[in-house]
């Protein structure tokens, strides 16, 4: 039987930062207040905001929220149950989150960079203090993928996760695939539309996707987030020609975040990849995010939605707040650990070095002599790299290889540097079969 | 601060029925026992099975499970924390579930028919007794859509849900769309492959989808499941020709379960519909399920996965068991109500009669005289039904209409019965724009 319920009047939330995420959270809590209260079992009150920006302070004041300048003061304020970290960055944000935890406050954050880099410390501190850290908004904002993996698929050994989790990159790649735009033009368009930052490095370099992958993999396989173990390649060197060749071969080009278990090890990698066009994941276009998961019981499931946006992010932040409110209602406690494992001694599988990962490869060689093609085949064959499919013209050779270890592929490519009549570095993309 | 944790040794589960769902649940619990225990915080032990089938009883005995013949005996057994109802049907299953609840046991079930018909009584009894009813497996088995709606999207006012939630129908429609098969041939193929029951009425008639829709709508909008309010049409009268016309117009034909809020009312309907082919939902093919949800904060999200299968269903059953184990660990209680609302006084929006629902329509008339086409236009126009798009040939007229109320459309169709040279009943499909 359940304990008697003594409804608390409200969950008191304080917000550090009143920008895109903060104001969106306030907006959603205000707009849907009645429904959220009926679902949560108590009201969720945003009572305090810490911000140094005058215009934001004014906006918060207008919304009837107490404003303070010092985020650390908010983090330790005795009249708060939960602190929403929406300031960004990994230094001050870390200090604020740790301060909130030390003062027995629950934390909700959308900050993937923070949790991917300081997650181990933060989650351990939260567990020790008996509070929780909600981060649904940190991965593919509007999509409840953290909850799906941590709770919905909890019965499964996860075999692989393949995600399109960076909307900026996906927009650029979709444009390159649709119209044959160059990378530079597609990025400039994304920037003009406000879909890409002035400094887009974290997005197009793959770093942002790596942050999210580290969090998803920690939930799927156990252990703390292992950002250090993620192999990261971005999309900056992609060329429009390869999108056309890929399409002819039946593939789309996507920036993928992949966590895959094989032979008792887990590989974590972010890189552009060829994805079968008949897969639903290949149809996730524009700024949208999509995450496909293969579990040993559930089989393949997929989750799709917006990867950015003020209200979209707020949807996930508020979901974490309602989780908390429901749990704390009647004096209870959060019963789902942030990363989904109650047993701290659970040993996650060891990491697999990229060199050992076997994949098919797409290769495009630029030929300067008509007889260079056969030589390329010869060198590749010497390394066990065979062409499953290919087209050879007077100036280019395009192929899909058999599945080979990354180390094998790299050795073959090194050897090819000496072949006359071939531009030294071919265009290369790994192939993700989603199997 | 959370309450001190006194881990219980195990959650003790009893299973009524040891068929597809029951044996799958046993299999997944056994195969992933270690990981499930680490995630749940305690073991989940399947200790008892009630079955009258000798072969199943033997299989359960072989698996080291205590077998009894009487399901009611299991339902009230003092050494169980949770009863998994996997017997099917709505009569004995109802009695067993009510008995388990009366004896203070939590219930997990995949039985959508049971909850859609007796849900109000069952959920009320569970709330009164302080136990929970888990039913993740009842809707789109492997996809954690109950959790996504009830928790992940909890911050949202749901604007609409559009689901492909019956794998059998979707397989038949996919075959009809791909190869121009007739309905009868596609169904026979599905039966030969074991994808359809010998009596497929519940699937192809739309009843199964209606059960699932009633449950999803209760979570999305509040109130008990309202099966009585669902307008249901199946796929039995669909003709191959309309799949071709639909494709030319840019649409796929799918059996959709739709819950949509408009003008403060909610409409619930299951019927075949034209779906824009560029929508991700239109790409959900074969036996797979897909559910698209529009929330006012999250925007459009989509959930995709298998809609049937032993281990796939078990994935969801075990997820409900782990939810319970995590909550009960340390003497806690379930904090999320089955349908997601803590406030029993929350007033759900009233139901909207189908007659008032405005939609575009696809119409195909068979013409017996060359001059019949213009007369059809004339009659339709008199009722405010205009052709947005259409093709007229000597023997057929195909069109997409403007958005009109169902009542308007029906009145026009009645009037058309008197027009000479037109086969009385045109093929008609509603258009779902997912907007």
Q: What are the tens digits of pLDDT across the range B368-410?
A: 988 899 999 999 999 999 999 989 888 999 999 999 999 999 9
Q: What is the DSSP letter of B281?
A: G
Nearest to A293 by CA among B23, B306, B281, B31: B306
| Contact (CB, 8 A) for A399 and A427 | no
Average pLDDT over residues B232-236: 98
- Residue B330, token pair as written in the block: 């340390």
Burial class, B9, CB count within 10 angstroms (exposed 0-12 / middle 13-18 / buried 19+): exposed
Q: Which two tokens stand for residue B93?
A: 């299953």
d(CA A94, CA A110): 13
Tokens (6 digits) for B4: 């001190």
Fold assignment, B152-306? Dihydrodipicolinate Reductase; domain 2 (3.30.360)
pLDDT band at A280 (very low <50, low <70, confident <90, very high): very high
CA–CA distance, A315 with B298 (Å, rounded to integer): 5
Asked whether the beta carbons of B298 and A305 are under 8 A apart, the reply is yes
Lookup result for tokens 């094989």:
A262
* pLDDT surpassing 80 at residue A344: no
Count of CB atoms situated within 10 Å of the CB of A136:
28
**Contact residues for A117 (Cβ-Cβ < 8 A; gap 6+):** A90, A211, A227
Decide if A302 and B305 are in contact by the 8 Å CB cutoff.
yes
Report pLDDT for A1.
35
How many residues are present in chain B?
435
Q: Above 80 in pLDDT, residue B116?
A: yes
* Residue A281 backbone zone (phi > 0: left; psi -120 to 50: alpha; other: beta): alpha
Instruction: Categorize the per-residue pLDDT at B5 as very low, low, confident or very high, splitting at 50, 70 and 90.
Output: very low
Q: How far is B207 from chain A (nearest CA, A)?
A: 24
Task: Nearest chain B residue to A293 by CA: give it.
Answer: B305
Residues B108-129 have a mean pLDDT of: 97
Q: What angle do CA B191, B239, B213 make, to 5 degrees?
A: 65
The confidence score (pLDDT) of residue A7 equals: 52
User: B347 at the A interface (CB within 8 A)?
Assistant: no
**Superfamily of domain B355-431 in the CATH hierarchy:** ACT-like. Chain A, domain 2 (3.30.70.1150)
C-alpha B315/C-alpha B295 separation (Å) is 26
- Asked whether the predicted pLDDT for residue A4 surpasses 50, the reply is no
A-chain residues within 8 Å CB-CB of B102? Answer: none
Question: What pLDDT is recorded for position B3?
Answer: 40
Asked if A319 lies within 8 A of B152 by C-beta distance, the reply is: yes
* Chain CA centroid to CA A285, Å: 16
pLDDT in tens, B324-370: 999 998 677 888 999 999 987 889 999 999 999 999 999 999 999 88
Chain B residues close to A1, C-beta within 8 Å: 104, 129-131
The pLDDT confidence band at residue B14, using thresholds 50, 70 and 90, is very high
Query: CB atoms < 10 A from the CB of B176, how many?
Result: 23
Name the band, by pLDDT with cuts 50, 70 and 90, for residue B233. Answer: very high
- Rounded distance between C-alpha atoms, residue B63 and residue B27, angstroms: 9
Q: What is the mean pLDDT of residues B183-190?
A: 96
Q: Is the pLDDT of residue A332 over 90?
A: no
Q: Which residue of A13, A108, A148, A155 to mutate against B (max B Cβ within 10 Å)? A: A155
Q: How many Å apart are CA A196 and CA B75, to the nearest integer?
A: 58
Q: Distance between CA B198 and CA B330 in Å, rounded? A: 48
Other C-beta atoms closer than 10 Å to the C-beta of B277 total 14
**What CATH architecture applies to the domain A145-306?**
2-Layer Sandwich (3.30)
Report the SS3 class of residue A259.
Answer: strand
Cα(A323)–Cα(A333) distance, integer angstroms? 10
| Euclidean distance between CA atoms A185 and B263, whole angstroms | 44
Give the minimum alpha-carbon distance from B301 to chain A in angstroms, rounded to a whole number: 4
Averaged pLDDT of chain B: 94
Measured CA to CA, the distance from residue B323 to residue B186 in angstroms comes to: 40
As a whole number of angstroms, the distance between CA B399 and CA B426 comes to 11
For the residues A351-376, what does the mean pLDDT come to? 94
Percentage of the residues of chain A whose pLDDT score is greater than 70: 98
Of the partner residues B40, B131, B314, the one whose CB lies closest to the CB of residue A342: B40
CB pairs under 8 A between A and B: 246
Q: What are the φ/ψ torsions at residue B98 (nearest 5 degrees)?
A: -65, -35
Largest Cα span, chain A: 83
Q: How many CB atoms lie within 10 A of CB B64?
A: 10
pLDDT greater than 90 at residue A9: no
pLDDT exceeds cutoff 90 at A99 = yes
| CB contact at 8 A, A255 and A164 | yes
Q: A251 has which bridge partners?
A: A276
Q: What topology is assigned to B10-141+310-331 in CATH?
A: Rossmann fold (3.40.50)
Ramachandran area for residue A222 (φ above 0: left; ψ -120 to 50: alpha; else beta): left
Residue-by-residue DSSP string for A233-258: --STT--HHHHHHHHHTTEEEEEEEE
Q: Please name the residues between 296 and 335 in chain A that touch chain B, using a CB distance below 8 Å.
A: 296-306, 309, 311-312, 314-319, 322-323, 326-327, 329-335
Architecture of domain A358-431: 2-Layer Sandwich (3.30)
The CATH homologous superfamily for domain A10-141+309-328 is NAD(P)-binding Rossmann-like Domain (3.40.50.720)
Q: What is the dihedral of CA A269, A270, A271, A277, to 10 degrees?
A: 100
The mean predicted confidence, pLDDT, of chain A is 94
Beta bridge partners of A43: A10
Gap from B3 CA to chain A (nearest CA, Å): 7
Residue B193 token pair: 């492959």
Residue pair B242/B362 in contact (Cβ under 8 Å)? The answer is yes
Q: 10 Å Cβ neighbour count for A79?
A: 9
For helices A310-328 and A20-31, angle between their N-to-C axes, nearest 10 degrees: 60
List C-alpha distances in Å: A386 to A274, A359, A403, A412.
18, 12, 9, 11
Nearest CA-CA distance, residue A233 and chain B, Å: 28
- Average of pLDDT values for A275-285? 97
SS3 B48: strand
> Between β-strands B43-50 and A396-401, what pairing exists: parallel, antiparallel or unpaired?
unpaired
Chain B, 175 to 234: residues with Cβ < 8 Å from chain A are: 222
Give the pLDDT band of residue B4 (cuts 50, 70, 90).
very low
Q: What DSSP designation does B9 have?
A: S
B112, B147, B212, B254: which one is catalytic?
B212
- Mean pLDDT within B306-323: 97
Q: What residues of chain B lie within 8 A of the CB of A330, using their CB?
A: 333
Q: Does A143 touch chain B (CB under 8 A)?
A: yes
CA B91 to CA B149: how far, in whole Å? Answer: 28
**Least Cα separation, residue B182 to chain A (angstroms):** 24
**C-alpha–C-alpha distance, residues A260 and B348, integer Å:** 44
Give the tens place of pLDDT for each residue, B248-276. 999 999 999 999 999 999 999 999 999 99
Q: Distance between CA B136 and CA B132 in Å, rounded? A: 12
Residue A206 per-residue DSSP state: S
Instruction: Please give the ipTM for the structure prediction.
Output: 0.96
- For chain B, count helices (H), then strands (E): 15, 17
Note if B212 is an active site residue: yes
Q: Where are the domains of chain B?
A: 10-141+310-331, 152-306, 355-431
| Contact criterion met (CB < 8 Å) for A153 and B315 | yes
Task: Report how far residue B168's alpha carbon sits from residue B260's, in angstroms, rounded to the nearest whole number.
Answer: 24
Give the pTM: 0.96
**Comparing C-alpha atoms, which of B180, B202, B204 is closest to residue B190?**
B204
Check if the beta carbon of residue A110 is closer than 8 Å to that of residue A22: no
DSSP string of A307-358? S--HHHHHHHHHHHHHHHHHHHTTS----S-TTS-S-TT--PPPBPPGGG-E
| pLDDT, mean of residues A258-284 | 97
Give the CA count within 13 Å in the CB-facing half-sphere of B198. Answer: 0
Interface of B with A in 273-302 (CB under 8 A): 280, 283-284, 295-302
């Amino acid at each position: 039987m359940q304990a008697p319920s003594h409804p608390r009047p409200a969950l008191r939330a304080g917000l550090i930062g009143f920008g895109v995420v903060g104001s969106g959270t306030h907006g959603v809590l205000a707009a849907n207040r009645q429904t959220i209260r009926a679902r949560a079992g108590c009201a969720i009150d945003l009572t305090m905001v810490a911000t140094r920006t005058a215009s934001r302070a004014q906006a918060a004041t207008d919304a009837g929220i107490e404003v303070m300048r010092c985020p650390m003061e908010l983090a330790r304020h005795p009249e708060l149950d939960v602190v929403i970290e929406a300031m960004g960055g990994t230094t001050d944000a870390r200090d604020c989150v740790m301060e909130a935890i030390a003062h027995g406050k629950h934390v909700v954050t959308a900050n993937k960079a923070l949790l991917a880099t300081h997650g181990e410390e933060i989650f351990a501190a939260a567990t020790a203090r008996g509070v929780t850290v909600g981060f649904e908004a940190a991965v593919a904002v509007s999509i409840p993928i953290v909850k799906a993996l941590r709770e919905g698929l909890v019965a499964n050994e996860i075999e692989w996760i393949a995600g399109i989790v960076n909307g900026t990159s996906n927009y650029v790649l979709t444009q390159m695939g649709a119209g044959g735009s160059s990378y530079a033009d597609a990025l400039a368009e994304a920037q003009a539309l406000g879909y890409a930052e002035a400094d887009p490095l974290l997005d197009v370099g793959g770093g942002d996707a790596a942050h999210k992958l580290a969090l998803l993999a920690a939930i799927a396989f156990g252990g703390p987030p292992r950002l250090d173990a993620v192999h990261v390649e971005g999309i900056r060197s992609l060329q429009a020609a390869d999108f056309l060749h890929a399409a002819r071969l039946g593939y789309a080009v996507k920036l993928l975040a992949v966590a895959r278990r094989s032979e008792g090890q887990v590989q974590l990698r972010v890189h552009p990849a060829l994805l079968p066009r008949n897969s639903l994941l290949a149809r996730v276009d524009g700024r949208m995010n999509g995450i496909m998961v293969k579990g040993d019981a559930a089989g393949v499931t997929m989750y799709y939605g917006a990867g950015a946006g003020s209200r979209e992010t707020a949807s996930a932040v508020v979901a974490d707040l309602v989780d908390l409110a429901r749990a704390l209602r009647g004096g209870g406690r959060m019963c789902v650990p942030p990363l989904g494992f109650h047993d701290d001694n659970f040993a996650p599988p060891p990491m697999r070095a990229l060199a050992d990962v076997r994949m098919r490869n797409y290769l495009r060689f630029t030929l300067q002599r008509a007889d260079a093609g056969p030589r390329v085949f010869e060198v590749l064959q010497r390394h066990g790299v065979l062409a499953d499919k290919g087209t050879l013209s007077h100036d280019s050779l395009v192929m899909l290889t058999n599945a080979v270890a990354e180390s094998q592929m790299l050795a073959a490519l090194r050897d090819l540097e000496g072949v006359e009549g071939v531009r030294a570095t071919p265009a290369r993309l790994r192939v993700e079969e989603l199997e």
